[in-house]
Amino acid sequence: MSIVCYRHALGIDMGKGEVAVIKKNNVLMQANALTQAKYDLSRDQQRILVMCLDSIAKNNWPKDGIFRINHEEYMKVFGISEKEAREDIIRALKGFKGKELTIHETWDNVDELIIRDMVWVTSRWVGEKRGIYQIKLNSDLREFMVPLAYDHSFTVYRLGHIAKTSSKYSMRLLQSLSQFRDTGIFSIKLDVLRKRWTLPDSYQGFGLLRTRVLEPAIKDLRKLPEFSTLTMETRKESTGKVTSVIFQFTPFP
Reply yes or no on whether the pLDDT at 70 is more than 90. yes
Lowest mean pLDDT across 7-21, 94-108, 232-246:
7-21
108: pLDDT confidence band, cut at 50, 70 and 90? confident
Portion of the chain with pLDDT greater than 90, in percent: 83
pLDDT of residue 212: 98
Average pLDDT over residues 45-72: 96
Domain with CATH 1.10.10.10 in the chain: 1-163, 167-253
pTM of the model: 0.88
- The strand order across the sheet containing 242-248 reads 185-189, 242-248, 231-236
Average pLDDT over residues 121-127: 98
19: pLDDT confidence band, cut at 50, 70 and 90? very low
State how far the Cα of 217 lies from the Cα of 210, in Å rounded to an integer: 10
pLDDT of residue 253: 87
Lowest mean pLDDT across 6-10, 19-23, 76-80:
19-23
Average pLDDT over residues 102-113: 86
107: pLDDT confidence band, cut at 50, 70 and 90? confident
Reply yes or no on whether the pLDDT at 25 is more than 60. no
State how far the Cα of 215 lies from the Cα of 146, in Å rounded to an integer: 32
41: pLDDT confidence band, cut at 50, 70 and 90? very high
Helix (H) or strand (E) holding 84: helix 82-95
176: which residues sit within 8 A by CB, 6+ positions away?
Answer: 35, 36, 186, 188, 247
User: What is the architecture of the domain spanning 167-253?
Assistant: Orthogonal Bundle (1.10)
To 5 degrees, how large is the angle CA 97–CA 101–CA 105? 155
Q: Which CATH number fits domain 1-163: 3.40.50.10860, 1.10.10.10, 3.40.50.2300, 3.40.50.2020?
A: 1.10.10.10
* pLDDT tens column, 132-154: 999 999 999 999 999 877 788 99
